[in-house]
Structure 1
Amino acid sequence: MSRTAETDARPLPTGAVLVAGAGPGVSGHLARLLAAEGHDLALLGIDPRELEQLAADGRDAGVRVETAQVDLTDDDAVRSTVAELGLRLGRFALVHFNPSAFREEDPLTLTPAALAEDVALGVGALLSVVQAARPFLAVDARVSVTGSMAADQPWNKAASLGVQKAAVRNLVHSLDTTLEPHGVRAVSVTVRGTLSTDPDSPFSHAAVARALRAALDQPADAWRSEVPYEG
């Protein structure tokens, strides 16, 4: 990286990292990256074993970790949980939103109720999380979202996923515009490839987590609320 790029980059402020939809994939790798940088962790998820493993990894890195098992579609539960975590940890440097629902149904079998259920997780929950975290966001904090090429190239047999990813990307653009006057920026990283469990793949969970981390350090005068990751 050039000296100019180093000067213009916006480093994350001090504060905890709130991960909504924490699990062993991209979100877990991103949490570990940021714990290694010294950020405390607040992890929201549904699997207690996955949460405990991530918490153990974070504590091994020497940071404080708080976990909460919560259904992200339960607006009241999410808001109260995030507020409690904010009071415990102080400021949030980053809110990362990771969840989406995968339902293998095409547009001729997908019902409106099922689509609404999926969108509630993959899109609506972002509102619950960010609105609850807003009082605790540090100046220069970030909001990031794991995006997908399904937003532009949906697989018809999992029609709701494409809707979720297109909608959440659109919402990130609006969040970024709304939060910018308060010193907070939002970004969606569109992963243009299929996630892989192969650690050597450019679309491994670790590689995508690194791309997300890099997107958080965009220069202030060239900030983009969507960053494509081509692998």
Structure 2
Amino acid sequence: MDIQPSTQSGAQVVVVVGAGPGVSGSLARRCAAEGWQVGLVGLDEHALADLAATLVPARVERRIADLTDPVAGAQAVAGLGERFGRIDLLHVNPSAYREADPLHLGVEELLEDVRLGVGSLLTAVQAAHPYLVRGARVTVTGSMAADQPSPVAASLGVQKAGVRNLVHSLDATLAPEGVRAVSVTVRGALAREGTFSHDAVAAAILDASRQDEADWRSEVSYPSV
């Protein structure tokens, strides 16, 4: 089922938070190819500019923000919502990879990583909320690390488990407004080609956003199990 357009005029809008050259970039390109307008939020100005150049002729707006700063992150997302007048798909992508096992991971390091990998979702949805039209979707890049954490990067599993849990809560909260949320749990390592290529995972995320609402699941595994 496609996302239903609102009664507001204009093309559909995707806002990608934590945009970059990987899965999030592939998702932005897929939406642009379908005629969507695209908003990009990230910290690396050059990476955003490079990505925007691949989205022609779509209308693209960029915002630079440190997503660990909830004020800056909220201003960036809300600014795009105000600029476009609506948000039909909000995709939240960031996470932090830190090589540290549980015996060497500091509490402050863990909290710093969770601030990005989980907190950015909370910030983004709260800021986007006034612009989420009925039928809008929130998607998140999940990971099998939520269930099978690597001990050499202990904080990543905590982030992915936390963000998945938050998606369940967001979905239940937003559902009465006709807005749904879903986390796509990627059960494999990203690769240049094949099942776990950036393009393939981005397609799976877009497919998850288009689930039939009558059978909606707030977590989808990729590949399906």
Distance change in 2, residues 1:12/1:36 (3 Å): farther
Q: Distance in 2 between matches of 1:172 and 1:80?
A: 21
Q: Which amino acid aligns with 1:78?
A: G
Query: What secondary structure does 1:176 align onto?
Result: helix
Counterpart of 2:199 in structure 1 is 206
> Which residue does 1:115 correspond to in 2?
110
Mapped pair 1:225 → 2:203: no
Q: Secondary structure at the match of 2:118?
A: helix
String of CA shifts for 1:133-188, please: whole Å, max 9, x gaps.
Answer: 00001110000000000000000010000000000000000000000001100000
Ranges in structure 2 where 5+ consecutive residues have no aligned partner: 6-10
Q: 3-state SS of the aligned residue for 1:156? A: coil
Identity of aligned residues (%): 59
Aligned residue pairs total 219
Question: Which structure has the highest helix share of the two?
Answer: 1
Deviation digits for residues 42-92 of structure 1, max 9, x if unmatched?
A: 10011112101111122x2x2210001110011111112222211111100
**Number of the residue aligned with 1:91:** 86
Whole-Å separation in 2 of the counterparts to 1:11 and 1:67: 23
Which 5+ residue runs of structure 1 have no aligned equivalent?
1-8
Contact 1:186 1:225 in 2 (8 A): yes
Match of 1:46 among 43, 47, 60: 43
Residue aligning to 2:25: 28
The correspondence for 2:131, drawn from 131, 136, 139, is 136
Matched, 1:17 2:14: yes
TM-score of the pair, normalised by structure 2? 0.95
**TM-score between both structures, scaled by the size of structure 1:** 0.92
Letter in 2 for 1:211: A
**Structure 2 counterpart of 1:48, which letter?**
E
Query: CA shift at 1:100, angstroms?
Result: 0.2
In 1, distance between residues paired with 2:137 and 2:200? 20
